[in-house]
Structure 1
Amino acid sequence: MKNLFYLILMYFTLGSCIREAPLNPEADIEEFNIDAQFLSSSTIIDQANSKILIYLKPDAYQSGVSPALKLSKGATVSPASGTLVNFSQPVFYTVKSESGENLKTYEVDVVEIGNWTFNFETWTENAQNKYEYPLDNNVQLWSSGNPGAALAGVMQQTDAYPTKSTINGLNGTKAAEMRTIPGTTLSEFLGIKLIPGSFFLGDFNSNQALINPLAATEFGQPYFQLPEKFTGYYTYTPGGNFQDQNGNTVPGQTDRFSLYAVLYNGPTRLNGTNINTSDQVIARAKLPNTTAPTAFTRFEVPFNYIPGKTPGNNLMVAIVASSSYQGDQYRGAIGSKLTVDSLRIIAK
């Protein structure tokens, strides 16, 4: 009888624990899988801005595809995973958390870059953290280190972030401005004394931001020709005091910017850990950074193809810019400022 009593007590105790376990409040799309035969590049899930970027081949765009979704535990989604969807009209997926307390709506954008000239006239703001990013035909093609700066505790106002728009662009238009700013309390605790302004074609993967910040910068968009030249306009002002990764002044050293384009074999994107070393790279076009013009100056640099490299069927082009050329090592000068406008990739 005593054993039976303990069994009954255990049953109700465990039952009470199970009933009291909180339901999952998360409402995320963790994976958005489309058969690779329908894609020209891998899909991007931009959690920070609730957007999904897909790169459909023309036939798939016309006929539609059936994405398979992986959601947060217990969450539900509409349209359901596996539903045939045609993307000729705007498509939105709404996720409801297991607990029922949270809804998250993702906008799905089909990316097709017809004109590889970028003038940075239209910008929008991240609703939560207030940093800016540009739009091309209402699609986000460019990203920056701003989402990482937000996680590091940068003040939630547009002017506080290292990358933003400026009205002081070419001929009085808008442009993209990058500044090297001081580290935050949190970043300095992690050993990061400064945060460079960075701007690039591609996506910032927030899932990697605290684990491996360089891997969070995913570079490139699909390209369907062979590029010949990289052109555009820029201004640059180096900050006054170059410092190493420990925050110590380096006498006699002046900061420089970084601005280059890379052609590589996709569909897997390169990132800050391998953009300079990967065997996927086919050609590079790098602007010499030995001058610091205060007025907009035009540049034109050729793509230098690496001997023996063969272009594949999933070509990608990345454009990468930074206000401090050693910013990936957290070296530079606070106050360094790079502004770029009318960047263009010219095909052969």
Structure 2
Amino acid sequence: MKIFKLITLGVLAVLMTSCIDWDYFGLSPKAEILAFEVEGQSGTSTIDSLARIISVPVNESVGLDSLKTTNIQTSSLSTVLPEVGQAANFADTIIYVVTAEDGSEVNWKVKAFRQTAEVQIENSNFDSWYDQTLRWLGVNYTYPTPTPESDVLTSRIWDTANRGAVASFVDGGNTTPVDRDGGKYARLESISVPIYNIAAGSLFTGYFTDDMPPNASNPRSNTHFGISFGSRPISISLEYKYSPGTEYIENQNPSTGEDECEIYVLLQKRVDGQRYRVGTAWHRSKDTISSWTTLNLDMQYGELPAGYPSYMGLNQNPGEEEVDWADPNDVPTHILVVFSSSALGDTFTGAVGSVLEIDNLQLNY
């Protein structure tokens, strides 16, 4: 069995080794901007690849005359000027020049606009989903997106770990859309998979990388949590159902225990590569919720008072470390929304058959 697992891991590692994102001989002419973020941003940038125009929503409390870019993703082997981290006067239209590998240049116009403080996350009713093909395996999976034509990982608002599930030969993944009242909702299921024995269903703001297979010592390394966000909700609400499974697995091995679902929203302020926790709203429970129920969670700003569970404290996972609590009056720069059918799924722990269903996430102001 150990030999089989090692062989399977080796095959997956070879199959899923990331390559440059096009099939092209010679120097590439691609000069796209795939993702664009500035400090003080309140939502996701809109990128018009045909017109070469990028619209950036900025919190209404932030001045536009000197904003630094915090993230610019361009086509592979291309460069961009001004570079990431340089401040610019976004009260005017800024020209960013992307130089392709072949030396050709493309001008992109970037405009910032003020957005009201009461911002919702796009597609938070989970009605819009997009079918994607994992080309090297020839299998399909789906993820929720408000812009089906966009397939750039780093520009995704919502994503799942379905690419990891289908790499384990689970057709379609384990986070899927289900019809409801003329729309859809998200169904997350913890399933049995080769090698790791369990894979929790997950849905989150951010994106799941193409690096495979998942790192057993740090499985969260495949997930980049959080999107740009600059508002201060007082609470969140959503509709949900939960049914914990009975086949419990702990750290990849059969065990005894009770599974729990995980639902949380974190607000962060990211400055100079450091992450500070601004706000926390969290729900972890083993209770069976058999019919659609509204869950309300208050947003706690600043440091959590004594008595809160330790898992709600500052994140210390490698690559995600939060260095301190922010001032409770700070405006965040990012929001992390995470749903999981097994709270400890990132350590390959939970119960096969646990199902979390979610719909209609709302940020309340």
* TM-score, normalised via structure 2 length: 0.61
Identity %: 19
State the secondary structure of the residue aligned to 2:260: coil
Structure 2 unaligned blocks of 5 or more: 1-24, 39-65, 77-83, 112-117, 151-155, 304-324
What is the CA-CA distance between 1:202 and the residue it aligns to? 0.9
Q: How does 1:41-190 map to 2 (within 5 A)?
A: 41-43=70-72, 60=90, 63-68=93-98, 76=102, 80-81=104-105, 83-86=106-109, 114-116=119-121, 118-128=124-134, 129-136=139-146, 138=148, 140-150=156-166, 152-155=167-170, 157-158=171-172, 161-167=173-179, 169=180, 171=181, 173-184=183-194, 188=195
Partner amino acid, structure 2, of 1:122: S
- Label 1:178 to 1:206 Cα distance change in 2 as closer, same or farther (>3 A): same
Partner amino acid, structure 1, of 2:164: G
User: 1:58, 1:141 → 2: CA distance?
Assistant: 25
What is the CA-CA distance between 1:288 and the residue it aligns to? 4.1
Structure 1 unaligned blocks of 5 or more: 1-22, 48-53, 89-112, 270-277
- Label 1:304 to 1:63 Cα distance change in 2 as closer, same or farther (>3 A): same
Instruction: Assess if the C-alpha contact under 8 Å between 1:41 and 1:222 holds in 2.
Output: no
Q: How does 1:1-348 map to 2 (within 5 A)?
A: 41-43=70-72, 60=90, 63-68=93-98, 76=102, 80-81=104-105, 83-86=106-109, 114-116=119-121, 118-128=124-134, 129-136=139-146, 138=148, 140-150=156-166, 152-155=167-170, 157-158=171-172, 161-167=173-179, 169=180, 171=181, 173-184=183-194, 188=195, 192-207=196-211, 210-211=214-215, 212-250=218-256, 253-266=257-270, 280-307=276-303, 309-310=326-327, 315-347=333-365
How many residue pairs end up in the alignment?
266
- Label 1:38 to 1:209 Cα distance change in 2 as closer, same or farther (>3 A): farther
- Label 1:65 to 1:197 Cα distance change in 2 as closer, same or farther (>3 A): farther
Partner amino acid, structure 2, of 1:336: S
Structure having the higher helix fraction is 1
Structure having the higher strand fraction is 2
* TM-score, normalised via structure 1 length: 0.64
What is the CA-CA distance between 1:173 and the residue it aligns to? 2.9
User: 1:295, 1:221 → 2: CA distance?
Assistant: 31
User: 1:153, 1:279 → 2: CA distance?
Assistant: 33
Instruction: Assess if the C-alpha contact under 8 Å between 2:125 and 2:361 holds in 1.
Output: yes
The CA RMSD over aligned residues, in Å, is 3.9
- Label 1:230 to 1:43 Cα distance change in 2 as closer, same or farther (>3 A): farther
